[in-house]
Amino acid sequence: MSKQILRHPTVKKLDEIKLVGFRVLCSGEQYINEIPKASMRLCKRMSEIKHVINPSLQYGAFVVENTLDEEEGYWICVEVKEYEEIPTDMVFLSVPSQRYAILRHQGSNDKIMDAYTRLHKWIEENEYKRLKDKWHLEIFYNWNDTENIDVELLDTIE
Whether 81 is covered by a domain: the verdict is: yes
pLDDT at 6: 46
In a domain, 124, yes or no: no
Domain CATH for 15 = 3.20.80.10
Element (H, E) at 105: strand 98-107
pTM over 0.75: yes
Q: How confident is the model over 116-137, as a mean pLDDT? A: 98
143 lies in some domain: no
The answer to whether position 94 is within a domain reads yes
Structural domain count, the chain: 1
- Using pLDDT thresholds of 50, 70 and 90, give the confidence band for residue 138: very high
Residue 109 vs residue 96, higher pLDDT: 96
Residue 126 within any structural domain of the chain: no
Does residue 139 sit within a domain? Answer: no
Q: Is the pLDDT of residue 25 over 70?
A: yes
Task: Say if CB 99 and CB 156 are below 8 A apart.
Answer: yes
Confidence of residue 2 (pLDDT cuts 50, 70, 90): very low
Question: Which helix (H) or strand (E) element contains residue 103?
Answer: strand 98-107
**Is 113 part of a structural domain of the chain?**
no
For residue 1, what pLDDT is reported? Answer: 40
Neighbours of 20 (CB within 10 A): 25
**pLDDT for the residue numbered 110:** 85
Residue ranges making up the domain that contains 97: 1-106
Kindly state the average pLDDT of the residues 59-80. 94
pLDDT(88) > 60: yes
Q: How many CA atoms lie within 13 A of 90 on its CB side?
A: 25
How far does CA 81 lie from the centroid of its chain? 18
